[in-house]
Structure 1
Amino acid sequence: MNSTTDSATPTAPVVVPSLQRWEAQPGTTGLGEGFVVEHPEDLAGLARTLRADIADVTGLAGGIGADTGAGKITLVLDPELEFGTDNATAPDEGYVLAIDGGVRISARTATGVYWGTRSLLQMLSASTELPAGIATDWPNYPVRGFMLDVGRRFARPEALRDYIRFLSWYKLNTFMVHLNDNEITKDTKRSWDQAQQGFRLASDSPWLAGLAAEDGAYSRAEWDSFEDLAAQRHVQLIPEIDVPAHSRSFIRWRPELGLNGGDSDMLDLEKPETVELVKNVFEEFVPWFRGPAVHFGADEYARGHSKTYRGFFNAVSTHLRSLGKDPVAWGSLTMMSEGAGAPGPGGYNRDVTMCAWSRDWYSGQAAVADGYNVINTDDRLLYIVPFADYYHGQGLDARDLFENWEPHIFGTGYNLYPGHPQLLGAASALWNDLVLLDYDERAVYELVKPAFGVLAQKMWAGAVPELGYEDFMDRNAAVAVWPGSTLLG
């Protein structure tokens, strides 16, 4: 007798995020030494990754050739596969995992197959004797992310590569890398000349000499290694070059372009050469970036400059479009201009994805009303500032997120409805504001890790009836060891 259940019931396998649908069947299927992975040529690389990850998680080595009785995993691309849902993300990222004498993972896309292998690996981390059944699974939202501030505090390349692996283990598909920033001098009481700053990309182009931070910056080869791994792990990198505020690294390099005669971390937008310099910097680095989107910051600029800020916002977003990228920005239009204005030359470009980070600067509701697609990055709910006495200095409140949050929730009076067509998803963020403290990448990871499974659950599958916080965290602990770690895991 078969039984179809929602995810996370007692009969469903322990997977985080939990399965959208599980149809239990009698019996089990074992996987042993010498198992084989059958696949089409299009999935050869994915099959290699799966074999390596199984060896890492279970210690079992896969064989080559015909099934010898140790078990067979079949990977299938099926462009006609149905998921039994009208969720728009299912065709691109959904999969069906069938366990009945063998293991079969089917999807319309390689990404869907890859997510199916993550569920299989989490099952295998509990036991190589797998429960028989059929999982049908898909994400509720297309953007499920995390942002890391490396501008204020450099993270070694090994750490970024580990974050890519960590995200993909939980089926989080978006890694925003905040590549430049600086000390908050109003808090440290130091001058701008003394302020810590960092631009974390190092180009060989002579005209950019002096821009890259001396205490750490990524070469083109290192960035390529991030892109290679992200493609293998089906994670999209969204690099951020933050302008026109948070730009002390630019002003240190080109003092004449700084607001207030360079005594600032903001670029002077009254000078046409400022916009041209920013465009040239993006022209230099956009070829490094393989994903469809590039973030240009655009937050927390000095108020009282609405016209020049709007001109800058439109010029940079249009330029990124001309370079073949989808522009992303931190929502700031309420504070800067009391909204986006009417579409057209007198208003703001609408073809920008807004990270809705502040209810005061530009709420998710306000951005949606102005016509923007949004990503929930609400600061009060989703920001970590390590060891600070504001936001979440000791890590996000995992219980509160589990019991009260989903991507459509921005705070009382600011929420959207679940599945709103302009709500792309959500991303938590870690900001290294306290530049004078001594801590490293491992300390950062330890703050991020406790709530990661909860965030993945809420972004992928949402709340599960009758699953409490303690039970969920027990499930999360059972699958918390992820494959491939070199520094963090």
Structure 2
Amino acid sequence: MKYLLIVFFFPAFLFAQKKQINIIPVPVSLQQTEGAFIINEQTQIEFSTQSKQLQSAANFLRNTIHEISGLSLPINKKAKQKIQLALIKDAAIGEEGYQLIVSTNAIHIKANTPAGIIYGMQTLLQTLPAVRTNAKLTVPCMQVTDYPRFKWRGMHLDVSRHFFGPNVIKQYLDLLATYKFNTFHWHLVDDQGWRIEIKKYPALTNTGAWRVDQTNLVWGSRPQAKEVEAPTYGGYYTQAQIKEIIAYAAERNISVVPEIEMPGHVASAIASYPFLSCTQQSQLPLTGGNYTNMASNYCAGNDSVFHFLEDVLTEVIQLFPSKYIHIGGDEVDKTSWKKCAKCQQRIRKENLKDEDELQSYFIKRIEKFVTSKKRKIIGWDEILEGGLAPDATVMSWRGEAGGIAAAKMKHDVVMTPGNPVYFDHYQGDPASEPIAIGGFNTLKKVYDYEPLPKELSETEAKYVLGAQANLWTEYVTTPKQVEYMVLPRMLALSEVLWSPTKMKDWVGFNERLQQHFKGFDQRGLNYSKGNFKVDIKPILKEGKLYAILSTEAYKGQVYYTTNGDQPSIKSYLYESPVEINSSVTIKAATVVNSELKSVVPAEQQFALHKAIGKKVNYTHPISRYYMADGPNSLTDGIKGTTAINKFWHGIAAKDLIATVDLEEEKNIQLLSLGCLQNYNDWIMMPEWVKFEVSLDGIHFTLVETVANTVSTNDKTAQIKNFTASFSSMKARFVRVTAKVLDQLPKGHSGEGKPAWIFADEFIVE
């Protein structure tokens, strides 16, 4: 087998003076000393303990060095100098830790396990050139002691929405190995494609792995397939290919965790075997995000479904040695179960309360089978609904709430919140980035992530195994896009998960990262050069409003304007917080080496008015997921933008009713509330907005009710200011009520369900 390691690093070190060693993730301890070890034809790789794993590690290192230099280092032969791999007993470095000692005549890699040896080799390899070279392979003398912070250091890849062949998977594993990830979460099954060969059920891949090719259309706007259209887009992995990939991963100390989705997201299985659904109606494989009249859930009342899944899981477990089998469990639309006689009979027979408990029954039944095979299930945090299976591990993706709840219940948890570790989200200014599903998870947001929530006690925090990033591929259709979406964000996550918190340093990481970028360029890898969108952060200090401007760009500067003009290098250079003393719009751009980098300047409106900084009381609580910058976000002087994760208060299925105490009677003549519509995210304009005033906070007088004029079918993200102007009157209290849209419109993915209201500044003038 050909060994390929993607090592991306640096020109050979010059040792007239010591240069920085640019290891990512940063080791626990690294001390550089004088001199260097030169790998040449006089060097051998040596190990003494008879171990197949050490033999494999030695072969891995030899083949990688051969890829770089053409040298074929002997193993356990007499030579003048050596790279020695040795197993030791040192409790301080744990199962995956290592010691790397480089002197002028030897390199020693010591560890308690072969896993540690592999990680020591990865650190060594990061000091070598990125591509084939005839130059000397020079390793700086150093002493490293290193071990990981978390057990679970994962990267995910969705191959259902878009299929990526075995070689792409191996290249992905090379990236993981280089940065010391130990878990590959392989999303093999979803609505739009079944990607794993199951010998007992050949239609799963004969039918479920192929769909009509509509890659030229945006995911959500693809029409459903027609009988006359040929399903030519797709693919799957044979069991032989899967075994080869698992072995490839094992050589790099990576566990491959397969995800076999259930009980929802299985339209591909139903297209292959219609008996699996509640309706048992035939359907064609899904082409994208149009689910109209399509079944995507297994029937929870049909025992044949469980027999089918046990057969599938039996073959999966025989293939994958992983301790964990991921069973999905997310986003189950239980409408079909409510209409299904068999599912309702199951609820009655098992004395279940509702469809949530039916899902719990489903997961627990599957867990019992998986446990009988001496494996453990892991699932998305929806498996908490209706009651958690006894020994399940929870993967928390809808924020951290599910993970916190599971840890408090003494269940193991893997943190993978959409913000900031969904790598299908934008990492730079959307104006200059390839189209993505949405969201904004920059390199710095990833680097600043802390997987241990403050809500957990020290004992509860021990149930957090670690974290991982997820790459969903609705908008990722090529291997180059895969590279782009994970690079360099996965490097930031590697340091979050491996390095001690005290060792983390954004500036230092950015410095080291520049050398890795050179390696990416040499290898021809596609990666993001950085986020050049300026962050405009408003703050209230001692009753005054300021704007803090910052850029993530390496050695970037910020230039800004306050008069509406586009910023340039002739505009104001940002040096300290900008005081906001009138209603203005700040526009700001990043400049690097005197070159304007921002394609579109960042823009933030500020509104100075009589309610600035005043307390807001809500009749219905704001969603904890959309608190903006705190409970008084409606009166902080900051106007929201079309980015839904910034400055907006969100509330679902209920009216927004907010009352502001102005603290004294004031003359007012205008009230206004900004609202957002973002059709795809279920965020809709309120049906109307009502403004009221009061002198005592008890008796309110209606000022005006302003009707909505934005169509519920308008899919363009937009902001509307609901405004009432009137003759000046005295008031101490002002109240705004925004009426929620009770039912999303016909044709919407959430048709018939209530919408979200997103509101920003409540202006009082």
Superposed pair shares fold, TM > 0.5? yes
**Contact 1:57–1:482 at 8 Å: present in 2 too?**
no
- 8 Å CA contact retained: 2:413, 2:465: yes
- 1:459 is aligned, of 497, 500, 503, to 497
1:293 maps to 2:308: no
The equivalent of 2:100 in structure 1 is 97
Choose which of 302, 323, 338 in structure 2 pairs with 1:271. 302
Superposed, 1:445-456 pairs within 5 Å as 445-456=483-494
Aligned to 1:442: 480
Pair 1:327–1:206, CA change in 2 (3 A)? closer
Residue 406, structure 1, aligned to residue 450, structure 2: yes
Q: TM-score, normalised by structure 1?
A: 0.82
Q: Distance in 2 between matches of 1:488 and 1:39?
A: 37
Aligned partner of 1:3 in structure 2 is: none
2:24 partner letter: V
Code of the residue aligned with 1:381 in structure 2: it is: P
Residue identity matched to 2:367:
S
CA shift in 2, pair 1:475/1:462, >3 Å: farther
- Please tell me whether the aligned partners of residues 408 and 419 of structure 1 are also in contact (alpha carbons under 8 angstroms): no
Q: Which of 199, 205, 222 lines up with 2:200 in the alignment?
A: 205
Name the structure 1 match of 2:405: 366
- Give 1 or 2: higher helix fraction: 1
What pairs up with 1:64-75 in 2 under 5 angstroms?
A: 66-69=77-80, 71-75=81-85
Worse overlay, 462-471 or 265-274: 462-471
State the alpha-carbon separation in 1 of the partners of residues 65 and 520 from structure 2: 15
**1:146 is matched with which residue?**
155
How many Å separate the matches in 2 of 1:447 and 1:299? 23
- Asked if the contact 2:208–2:271 (Cα under 8 Å) also holds between the matched residues in 1, the reply is no
Query: 2:674 corresponds to which residue?
Result: none
> Contact 1:202/1:218 (CA < 8 Å) preserved in 2?
yes
Q: CA deviation at 1:18?
A: 1.1
Higher mean C-alpha deviation, range 211-220 or range 257-266:
257-266
Q: Which residue of 1 aligns with 2:511?
A: 471
- In structure 2, the CA distance between the partners of 1:298 and 1:399, relative to structure 1 (3 Å rule), is same
Is the CA contact 1:148–1:176 (under 8 Å) kept in the aligned structure 2? Answer: yes
User: Alignment partner for residue 171 of structure 1, among 166, 176, 180?
Assistant: 180
Aligned to 2:392: 352
Structure 1 residue 234 corresponds to structure 2 residue 253: yes
Deviation string 1:291-324 (CA, Å, 9 cap, x unpaired) is 2211111111125512211111101111111112
1:379 deviates by 1.2
Check 1:178–1:206 CA distance in 2 against 1; reply closer, same or farther (3 A cut): closer
Cα RMSD of the aligned pairs, angstroms, is: 2.8
3-state secondary structure, aligned to 2:411: coil
| SS of structure 2 residue aligned to 1:233 | coil
- 1:417 CA displacement: 6.5
Of structures 1 and 2, the larger Rg is shown by 2
- The one-letter code of the counterpart of 1:175 is F
Per the TM alignment, residue 178 of structure 1 is displaced from its structure 2 partner at its CA by 0.5
Secondary structure at the aligned position of 2:258 is classed as strand
Judge which range, 32-41 or 317-326, deviates more.
Answer: 32-41
- TM alignment of 1:34-49, pairs within 5 A: 34-40=42-48, 41-42=50-51, 43-49=54-60
Cα deviation for residue 208 of structure 1 reads: 5.4
CA distance in 1, matches of 2:526, 2:58: 25
Q: Deviations over 1:447-472 (max 9, x none)?
A: 11221111111110044355515314
Unaligned runs of 5+ in 2: 1-17, 131-135, 211-233, 282-293, 335-353, 426-434, 528-765
Contact persistence 2:416–2:469 (CA under 8 A): yes
Q: Which letter does structure 2 place at the counterpart of 1:408? A: L
Structure 1 residues 419, 106: CA separation in 2 closer, same or farther (over 3 Å shift)? Answer: farther
SS of residue paired to 1:159: helix
Match of 2:74 in 1: 63
Question: What is the one-letter code of the residue matched to 1:385?
Answer: D
Do 2:323 and 2:375's aligned partners in 1 also have CA atoms closer than 8 Å?
yes
Aligned length: 435
Query: For residues 46 and 425 of structure 1, what CA distance do their matches in structure 2 show?
Result: 26
What's the offset of the Cα at 1:81?
2.3
Instruction: Judge conservation of contact 1:426–1:459 (CA < 8 Å) in 2.
Output: yes
Work out the CA distance in 1 between the residues paired with 2:304 and 2:322: 28
Q: Is the 8 A contact 1:357 1:379 kept in 2?
A: yes
Alignment deviations for residues 231-274 of structure 1 (CA, whole Å, 9 cap, x no partner) = 11110000000001101012112223324555321112122222
SS at match of 2:379: strand
CA distance in 2, matches of 1:363, 1:206: 34
CA contact (8 A) 1:15 1:475 kept: no
- Find out whether 1:249 has 2:258 as its counterpart: no
* In structure 2, distance between residues paired with 1:12 and 1:316: 52
CA separation of 1:57 and 1:376: change in aligned 2, threshold 3 A: farther
Does residue 1:119 correspond to 2:138, yes or no?
no
**What do the CA deviations read for 1:68-99 (whole angstroms, capped 9, x no partner)?**
44x31000011x2243xxxxxx3210011111
Higher RCO (Cα < 8 Å, 6 or more apart): 1
Distance 2:421 2:33 in 1: 39
Q: Could you list the runs of 5+ residues in structure 1 that have no partner in the other structure? A: 1-9, 84-89, 183-196, 341-347
Distance change in 2, residues 1:385/1:22 (3 Å) = closer
2:626 corresponding residue in structure 1: none
- The answer for the alignment partner of 1:15 in structure 2 is 23
SS at match of 2:304: helix
Q: Per-residue deviation at 1:165? A: 1.4
Q: How does 1:361-440 map to 2 (within 5 A)?
A: 363-385=402-424, 387-392=435-440, 396-402=441-447, 404-408=448-452, 420-434=461-475, 439-440=477-478
How many Å apart are 1:125 and its aligned residue? 3.0
- Once residues 64 and 274 of structure 1 are traced to their aligned partners in structure 2, the CA distance between those partners, rounded to angstroms, is 53
The one-letter code matched in structure 1 to 2:112 is: R
Alpha-carbon separation, structure 2, partners of 1:481 and 1:60: 24
Residue 22 of structure 2 contacts residue 513 of structure 2 at CA under 8 Å; is this kept in 1?
no
Q: Is the 8 A contact 2:422 2:469 kept in 1?
A: yes
Please tell me whether the aligned partners of residues 98 and 105 of structure 1 are also in contact (alpha carbons under 8 angstroms): yes
> TM-score of the superposition, structure 2-length normalised?
0.53
1:453 and 1:471 map into 2 onto residues whose CA distance is 13
- Aligned partners of 2:449 and 2:456: how far apart in 1? 10
Secondary structure of the residue aligned to 2:24 is coil
Q: For 2:56, what is the secondary structure of its paired residue?
A: helix
From 27, 35, 38, the equivalent of 1:30 is 38
* 1:218 aligned to which of 225, 231, 237: 237
Cα distance between partner residues in 2 of 1:206 and 1:252: 13
Distance in 1 (alpha carbons) for counterparts of 2:276 and 2:368: 21
Change (3 A) 1:206 1:240: closer
Query: Which one has a larger percent strand, Structure 1 or Structure 2?
Result: 2
Match of 1:330 in 2: 380
1:444 is paired with a residue of what secondary structure? helix
Question: Cα offset for 1:11?
Answer: 7.2
Letter in 2 for 1:453: L
Q: Corresponding residue for 1:106?
A: 110
| Contact 2:399/2:419 (8 A) holds in 1 | no
Residues 435-456 of structure 1 show CA distances to partners (whole Å, capped at 9, x for unaligned) of xx8x312222221122111111
**Alignment match of 1:129 (pick from 106, 129, 138):** 138
